[in-house]
Structures are given as structure tokens and as C-alpha cells.
Amino acid sequence: MPLVILALGIVLLFFLIVKVKLNSFLSLILVCILLAFGEGLPIDKIFPTIQKGLGSTLGGLTIVVGFGAILGKLMADSGGAQRIATTLINMFGRKNVKWAVCLTGFIVGIALFYEIGFVLLIPLVFTIAVAADIPLLEVGIPMAAALSVTHGFLPPHPGPTAISVIFNADIGKTLIYGLIIGIPTVIISGPLLYNTVKDIKTEIPEGLHNDKNFSDEEMPSFMSSILTALTPVILMAISAVGKMMGIPKDAPIMHIFNFIGDPSVALTISIAVAFYTFGYARGKTTKEIMETSEKAILTVAMILFIVGAGGALKQVLIDSGVGDYIGHLVMGANLSPLLLAWIIASVIRIAVGSATVAALTAGGIVAPLIPLTGVSPELMVLAVGAGSVIFSPPNDPGFWLFKEFFGLTVKQTVRTWCAVETAIAVCGLIGVEILNLFV
């Protein structure tokens, strides 16, 4: 029954949004209430659970998304985004610029959580699409695919890192194996997969891009633009490298690294830098900079609400025990440990939405199999990581992030974003099985 109720809830969500044309936020909250009741949550726990999911999602994302939007808007309005875009187009050529964006996403994604990297790179994607006169998804899909692969496969991301600890896997080996599998996976699920959805045409959401064509003198330099855009990446990378180098957690320098590497702090510092490089240094007044900031926040307000509601739906399914129910149900199958780990993570991902929750839940379920079967713990980490990103259902906040920023319908989001995530999961499984022949 838990699976039947879940399926009916997802069908209802699609019906409300696609057929009834109800606002996505309202649809998600309504389905949250009905699913919580149907899955057996006590009535007095339903809204606390929804509030917990919405609050925990927005608590970690509000500053990041808000400040990221301000950084992107300042970069666009100052000509910084156009400078970066034109430089990349000149370096790679218009036909190959999607590969440049894919590479950028992969590099940025190693240091950042998916949502943070997405928000930081989306203004650049918009500007490149306009400057090169190419479809938005041609550069958007490679960027998103690269970020998702690093999120699912590569430490120091929370999922792969936490599973490595649970499995007693070597994080260095996990990173190397993840890179070996991740690079071809990005190529297949990004630039190549775009060829299957060329017919989908979408426009940049209003307010997220500056259509002005800046002259060379009006734009900041490429170095100034790229360093400002990458300031949060650099700060978070410093923290990640410090952890990978084994610096003691209680060392004073590590406290500093952890502080500046926190996403909210890194974005706050970045905003201060952008106020100067994209604002005062370009001759703008404080009033003009604040007006730009206010417009950026207004633009992402509804996006934040929708993403938060996706987090609420995720929490309802976790607290009602659907994830654990599915994991133990699949555990009885007689399969290879790598395939079993992938299947359990995949099913939990579709059920609860969160890739990190799916990874951690599946990791706890299959951990006892490692000493019993002798399978490589590093490959088990990657098998779980690959399964944990599959499909990206509507109860995943990432689904709504992609849909809203790219101005897609629900059906188009399934054809694009859900297809990208599924391709990543399948390629990851294939890569793990191939590597298993040699390690």
C-alpha cells in the first residue's frame, strides 16, 4: 500500500499542475497533506513534518539562492557575464561552446553542492545562449549534467563522502574511480543527450537576464569577471582541500577554512566582492546596486517557495517510513552486491526525492554486504551514488529548480532533466561494473 499511495500522489501532482494549471507551490503542499495522511502520519504531525521539510530545505538554500541570484544579476547587469561568455565563445567557437560550459560545470561542481553550483552558473548559461545565438538547453543540459555527476560520484560531496565513511572506503580511491567513471558519464548525459531533445524550445525567464549588448569599454575585464564569479568556488574549494589534506578538525586554520568555506559565508563574501568589481568599479552608486539586488531577490522568490515545497514532500515520505520500507523490500532479491546497492538507492531516490537521503539510507542497508562478499567498498560507494541520482522525481527540489529556471513545463522537465539524471545513473552503473572487472 505505501507504494500505491505514493504512485497516486505523484499522479495527482502531475494532474494538478498540468491539467488544472494550479500553481506548483500550492499543488505540492496539497499533495504533501494528502500523502502524509495516506501514508499513516498522525494528523497532528502532518504540518510539523511539512514545516520541517520546507524549513530545512530553505534554511540551507535561501541565502545561497538569494545571494547567488544577486551575484548573477550584478554580473549580468555590469557586462561581466557577457565578457565571460564572449571570451569562451572566442576560445571554443560557437559550435563547441557547450563543451566549455560542460567543463566549467564539472570543475565548479567538484567544490560545490549541486544547487549552489546551479545558481552560480545559470546567469552564465543564459548569457552564453544569447551571445552565441544557440538554444538555451544546448548549454543548460551540459552544465546541469556536469554538476549532478560530481554531486553523486565525487567526494567531498556529502553523499559520496558519508558513504565512504560508512563503507570504510578509501576516499582518495573513490575520487579517482569517480573521475574515471564521471568523465564519460558527463559527456553522454550532457552534450550528447541534448541531441535527443533539440525540439524543445524555451525562453529565459523574465528578469533573469540583461538583454543589453555591452561595448568592450563598458565591460569589466575577463580576469576580474571570472575571479568574481568563482570567488565562492575558490573559498569552498579551500575548505574542501583542507579536509582532504587531513588537517585536524580542531586546528585553528581549519576553523577559518570551515568558516569561509561554508556556502552562505562564501556567497556573502562574494557579494561584497561583486559590489565593488561589478558595481562601484563600474561607476554605479549604492542605490543602483541595491535596486539590482532587490530585482534579483524578487525574481527567485517563487522559485524558492517551490523548491521548499519539494523539500516538504521529501520529508513527508521520509518521516512516514516509505524509504526504509522500499529498501528492505528490495533487499530480499538475490543479485550482485553492486547491482543490489544501485537498485536500492534508485528506488529510495524515486520514493523520497533527495539524492543524499537515498544514498545514506541505501548505504546503511547494504553496508553489511561488503565484508560478506568482498566487493570493493569504493565501487560500492559509486554504485550507491549512481543510483541515488536516478530520474529526479517531482519530490526532488532539484526537479523544480531546473524546471523554473529554464522555464519548462512538467512534461518538458521529465524529457530533459529526468532523462539526464537517468542517463547518469545508468552510465554510472555500467562504469562500476566495468571497473569491477579490473579492481
- Give the residue-averaged pLDDT of 373-379: 92
Would you say 383 and 429 are in contact if contact means Cβ atoms under 8 Å apart? yes
Bigger pLDDT: 414 or 325?
A: 414
Would you say 142 and 194 are in contact if contact means Cβ atoms under 8 Å apart? yes
Would you say 429 and 387 are in contact if contact means Cβ atoms under 8 Å apart? yes
What pLDDT band is residue 111 in, cutting at 50, 70 and 90? Answer: low
How far is the C-alpha of 129 from the C-alpha of 140, rounded, in Å? Answer: 9
Tens-place pLDDT, residues 327-364: 677 666 678 889 999 998 998 898 878 787 788 778 87
Q: Which phi and psi angles does 234 have, rounded to 5°?
A: -60, -45
Tens-place pLDDT, residues 269-317: 999 999 999 999 999 999 999 999 998 888 788 878 887 888 888 888 8
Grouping H, G, I as helix, E, B as strand and the rest as coil, residue 192 is helix
Q: Please state, rounded to an integer, the average pLDDT across all residues of the chain.
A: 88
What ranges make up the beta strands (E) of 170-257? none
What pLDDT band is residue 190 in, cutting at 50, 70 and 90? Answer: very high
What pLDDT band is residue 156 in, cutting at 50, 70 and 90? Answer: low
Which residues lie closer than 8 Å to 22 by C-beta, 6 or more apart?
16, 30
State the residue for C-alpha cell 580542531. Answer: 250
Would you say 233 and 227 are in contact if contact means Cβ atoms under 8 Å apart? no
Which residues lie closer than 8 Å to 372 by C-beta, 6 or more apart?
none
- Give the residue-averaged pLDDT of 146-163: 84
What pLDDT band is residue 439 in, cutting at 50, 70 and 90? Answer: confident
Cell of 55: 524549513
pLDDT recorded at residue 76: 83
Would you say 232 and 272 are in contact if contact means Cβ atoms under 8 Å apart? no
Cell of 169: 572506503
pLDDT recorded at residue 117: 78
pLDDT recorded at residue 181: 97
Query: For the packed helices 286-319 and 43-78, what is the interaxial angle rounded to 10 degrees?
Result: 150
pLDDT recorded at residue 388: 94
State the residue for C-alpha cell 568599479. Answer: 281
Kind and range of the H or E run holding 130: helix 114-132
pLDDT recorded at residue 385: 95
Which residues lie closer than 8 Å to 179 by C-beta, 6 or more apart?
154
What pLDDT band is residue 422 in, cutting at 50, 70 and 90? Answer: very high
pLDDT recorded at residue 287: 96
Would you say 243 and 111 are in contact if contact means Cβ atoms under 8 Å apart? no
Q: 40-44, 153-157, 217-221: which has the minimum mean pLDDT?
A: 153-157
pLDDT recorded at residue 158: 67
State the residue for C-alpha cell 518521516. Answer: 319
What pLDDT band is residue 30 in, cutting at 50, 70 and 90? Answer: very high
Tens-place pLDDT, residues 228-278: 988 887 888 888 788 778 788 899 999 999 899 888 898 899 999 999 999
pLDDT recorded at residue 365: 78
How far is the C-alpha of 401 from the C-alpha of 121, rounded, in Å? Answer: 13
Q: Is 31's pLDDT higher than 70?
A: yes
CA–CA–CA angle 254, 174, 435 (5° rounding): 170
Alpha helices (runs of H) in 320-418, residue ranges in sequence order = 322-331, 337-352, 355-366, 369-373, 377-387, 397-405, 410-413
Q: Name the percent of the chain lying above pLDDT 70.
A: 96
Tens-place pLDDT, residues 194-208: 999 999 999 887 776
How far is the C-alpha of 58 from the C-alpha of 11, rounded, in Å? Answer: 25
pLDDT recorded at residue 2: 83
What pLDDT band is residue 66 in, cutting at 50, 70 and 90? Answer: confident
Dihedral Cα 181, 183, 186, 188, nearest 10 deg:
-80
How far is the C-alpha of 360 from the C-alpha of 316, rounded, in Å? Answer: 17
- Give the residue-averaged pLDDT of 199-220: 83
- Give the residue-averaged pLDDT of 380-409: 92
Q: Is 170's pLDDT higher than 70?
A: yes
Q: Name the percent of the chain lying above pLDDT 90.
A: 41
From the number of C-beta atoms within 10 Å of its C-beta (0-12, 13-18, 19+), residue 314 rates as buried
Q: How far is C-alpha 89 from the geometric centre of its chain's CA atoms? A: 25
Bigger pLDDT: 124 or 162?
A: 124
- Give the residue-averaged pLDDT of 130-138: 92
pTM, full prediction:
0.78
Q: How far is C-alpha 102 from the geometric centre of its chain's CA atoms? A: 14
Long-range CB contact pairs, 406-415, < 8 A, 24+: 406/136, 406/137, 406/140, 406/202, 406/205, 407/202, 407/203, 407/204, 407/205, 408/200, 408/202, 409/18, 410/14, 410/17, 410/18, 411/18, 412/200, 412/202, 415/197, 415/200
- Give the residue-averaged pLDDT of 95-104: 90
How far is the C-alpha of 338 from the C-alpha of 408, rounded, in Å? Answer: 35
Nearest to 122 by CA among 403, 409, 410: 403
What pLDDT band is residue 108 in, cutting at 50, 70 and 90? Answer: confident
